[in-house]
Chain A
């Protein structure tokens, strides 16, 4: 079987303690929550931290507080199962509950956390492989090598942001709260990501994601459509999230569309949004907006399913998502 490399495990009891250990150990340390992403990567030697700082013992990181009219605050270590079944989430943020339920399997969701999900390592099928396999391709830029085999001329890694919660959290305007040895800060979810498969999140090495803040529920509705090969286990090869604000007469006040799994960061379909604002979503307008959205997506040949087909699916999935909300 594949085995984990040796590491030291620290189990801090508070956010401050965790931040101190993280700052003290430097780059050889990593945080671990559910471990459902990190441990498989470690077995394949994609990541080989010497020190793991387990966050599950920090009580303040788990659980959901607040009320929908002013917004909810979700602790980073809240499991995906707890999040998706929480009464307030199911009732007031049903799209989030459904998006989280599309993640992998029920068993994985019992272990995986929302903090881990938004910090999920980017994915690429030249990279999510054992050390020996990667040695056979002479490694790649993201780990142990220097060329990107997906696009050898590319100077950045094009590994894919594959989280199912991220596009929806971006669309509804969620924010991320971070804590480090230098204090706390809050950043919009959509600004948390970089178009760079290696430095894919804007997080300082000593920072910990403590909470995800959901905006108040004030008249918007949202949806998430996931494309994956199978009904369980699989990462998205396309995720489409839409949040829409509409006038009582049906006119679109705002429509934020985010695509995921087509780039290293969630992609906002800004032109589609502009096309929709101020209009009533007729089938023609929806078709037009879907077309505009599909221009933004440039899937690469590094996930499951044919990439040219995945590109074609963007239009179909955006259309279906918009239809669902109109």
Chain B
């Protein structure tokens, strides 16, 4: 095995933060306390959509214990994670857009006083017509929630065509159509968001926040507070889970920072679970229409994918989410011609955003059920169908994604064998079934959130004559183990032990920027930067030690806290002595490393979402029992194989796989973010008791296979694992339900009443009927690599869309010359 050369990388060593977490010593944001600290509470809107006529805070200000009250006027500058969606205010200015939108803030000497004073704020609202569903949002007669976007309540409209889709359908022997719905759900991280702002004597401010992205919070704070970023320090303490729920800059972070500046006292906020449901940024509900053309051997000649995203009240990551519902369909099975149309809609509900898998579990659910249907139609085994049409490694897809290493075939073979698929598929007794599905995910987005040409991450090392090494990096460990990955990589390269390292992370004052823990980017990007910084340090040490020992530096080995001659291991010195030797020769020893992803191949508008240095792959087989009397689905077991490229720490990788299965199981069977349209659009049950997610009793057995096909772009070959393994779970379960009782459930969650309805339905199916009509703009045309395209758009097809508006040329140097012909 490749890993045998390594002492630390690839080994299941203990998480560096394990002991402090297990013994309760870790301090989370809510554990922090400072002298004279105030407590902050937010007053939230009871209306889904209303204009704020006036706010009277005088009664609240006079309440005992209240020190300060803020309203939107105190923080008028908008912010948002994406530069194109700067549509949020720390406190609503004149409009509220969902039940739970914050309108005022109170800081008081204790939390009870702040809470009581909330009821003393008088807000005069003028309720507005509220938009609570996808059809509502598409109705041009309804009032727009925002004054920007692509049309009415359509926030973002995308229409792309790669190659010749009509031609592809003409070539097809079978055309398979389907409509799917993926219900919205939320992250449900254990830690509720908390933030503490501490004013510093010279007018500067320090913010501790449970965030996955201190860098982006830092930028939003600088913007809204109108302060130089250098005077703001954002620290992310160890975070108790995020899953994408803590990747936006949040109103409460800005509010406590402002409160601290206004009062000159530390200010803390800890959200209730209900408020966390209002922060949301979770899975978009997506309605999908899929049309797929196939030859009789199963090769995909054309794929037409339409998605409608229910975005909630604000932009958040939504524009990226929209593209993600279309980007990764091409990296698993070869797709010759591909058309993608999508619309994200504003609705008066908490904003949706990125949840583990960001925008890709929904289309993956549709695609993998669709493949199961296709296999049946073609009379092929679903595993064989997929294996026959895998995207080859080292290829460029129709939408210009560069696939590097590609272990999906191995993943499929592993789970097929492990689950004894061949003996079970379509052969188990009625009520029991197996289903197969696959998935793929990015190892970090190729482009940053805001346009810049700077590195995505940096690592800085300070080597000390004592033999200790201090590692500085902006990365944020949200429980996934990025601190351990950082320590293992640096220790590996320098031949020392993780315990010899001091990690200083996620502190915008002390650490080089890392963009944050999102898009599964940390291991690959930070890992590469860490390798670079550590190799540079090793070079300095090698040069000094080689000079002293009078041997060529290439003969030196760094291992077991020693630096020695490979040919005569007794000749050498300790690591500490090596640092001293280097320090004597070069002065203080410090090195840096950084990482910027390779440029992407696509140059059309929208090409920024999808490219990644490497794609991970997963395949799953689920075995389920379905009770035909009740419709109850019990998942007995999931076999999951994941192509991680190379595991830096196999136990942490397995943990991520099992966590992904758990979360996917919840999404498949029960988790559902729903609202009461009859009662003001309130969240139906913003609590952990009634928002159902699986307990250990519902968790299935999991057998995990790690497939290690090292990727040239990954540190030691490593790719992502944090998000990918969730993707195959819901469709594998849906396919298994079909195998068990012969009904198609084309939406999640797959609840017992849906299964029972399908069992009683004529078409033996439960799912959405069709997509509501949308006037799609003519697609932006891009010739595929196979057609000799260069990644640029060649224009918009004119007048092809029904009711389409006149064509708008692409931003790129486009020739508006109609369609591509072969």
Contacts and interface: CB of A to CB of B under 8 A. Distances in A.
A136 B680 contact: yes
B272 A1 contact: yes
Contact of B695 (A1, A128, A138, A233): A233
B682 A136 contact: yes
A312 interface: yes
A132 B678 CA distance: 17
Given A133-B686, A312-B756, A229 B679 contact: no
Given A3-B115, A309-B753, A136 B47 contact: yes
Contacts of A229: 670, 692
A136 B48 CA distance: 9
A1 B110 CA distance: 12
B682 A133 contact: yes
A138 B44 CA distance: 15
Interface string B645-687: 0000000000000000000000000100000101110111111
Given A130-B274, A133-B686, A137-B679, A230 B753 contact: no
A309 B758 CA distance: 13
A316 B678 contact: no
Nearest to B694: A230
A2 interface: yes
B770 interface: no
Contacts of A39: none
Nearest to A227: B630
Contacts of A136: 46-47, 99, 679-680, 682
Interface in A290-326: 304-306, 308-309, 312-313, 316
Given A137-B682, A316-B630, A231 B751 contact: no
Interface string B271-282: 010100000000
Interface in A74-126: 125-126
A135 interface: yes
Nearest to B670: A229
Contact of B46 (A128, A132, A234, A312): A132
A230 B692 contact: yes
A308 to B, nearest CB: 7
B695 A306 contact: no
B316 to A, nearest CB: 22
B556 interface: no
B697 A149 contact: no
Contacts of A130: 272, 274
A303 to B, nearest CB: 9
Interface residues of A, number: 30
Nearest to A136: B46
Given A136-B682, A149-B678, A128 B698 contact: no
B752 interface: yes
A154 to B, nearest CB: 15
Contacts of A6: 112
A307 B25 CA distance: 46
Nearest to B271: A1
A232 interface: yes
Contacts of B112: 3, 6
Interface in B97-128: 99, 111-112, 115, 118
A126 B99 CA distance: 15
B675 to A, nearest CB: 11
A26 to B, nearest CB: 24
A130 B274 CA distance: 8
Contacts of A306: 751, 753
B274 A232 contact: no
Given A231-B697, A309-B756, A135 B46 contact: yes
A42 to B, nearest CB: 13
B115 A125 contact: no
B690 A132 contact: no
Contact of A137 (B115, B676, B692): B676
Contacts of A234: 689, 692
Contacts of A133: 274, 682-683, 686
A149 B676 CA distance: 11
A230 B683 CA distance: 21
Interface in A221-256: 229-234
B763 interface: no
Contacts of A305: 751-753
B583 to A, nearest CB: 50
B695 A230 contact: yes
B226 interface: no
A188 B692 CA distance: 36
A304 B690 contact: yes
A94 to B, nearest CB: 21
Contacts of B676: 137
Interface in B621-636: 629-631
Given A1-B272, A136-B679, A308-B753, 9 more contacts: A3-B111, A125-B685, A132-B46, A132-B118, A136-B46, A230-B695, A230-B697, A313-B630, A316-B630
15 contacts: A3-B112, A3-B115, A129-B687, A132-B274, A133-B682, A133-B683, A135-B46, A136-B46, A136-B680, A136-B682, A231-B695, A304-B692, A305-B752, A306-B751, A316-B629
* 10 nearest A-B residue pairs (beta carbon): A231-B697, A309-B753, A136-B46, A306-B753, A137-B679, A232-B695, A229-B692, A136-B99, A316-B629, A230-B695
